[in-house]
Amino acid sequence: MQNQEIIKIIENLKGRRGYEEKKATKLGFTSLYAYFEDKISKEKQALEKQKKELEKVNFERDTKKEKKKGCSCC
């Protein structure tokens, strides 16, 4: 089963198709489809990692605010 998003990307390459094919073969992919499939999965993983880091920072910021609120001298 092929991903329609990847097929649409490949169809819309037009003049850049040759460039992307050379890049895919240089990186060791057997097809342009496999190259874009890997590229999209890496982007999704990067977004998930960034989201987790942002949640962690927000959580740490919230805990610091709670600690400051508990102080009666400030």
Q: Is the pTM of this model over 0.85?
A: no
Cα dihedral 6, 11, 12, 16 sign: positive
The string of DSSP codes covering 32-65 is HHHHHHHHHHHHHHHHHHHHHHHHHHHHHHHHHH
pLDDT of the residue at 42: 96
Rounded average pLDDT per 10-residue block, the chain, 74 residues: 87 93 95 94 96 88 66 62
Q: How far apart are the C-alpha atoms of 41 and 46, rounded to whole Å?
A: 9
Domain ranges of the chain: 4-69
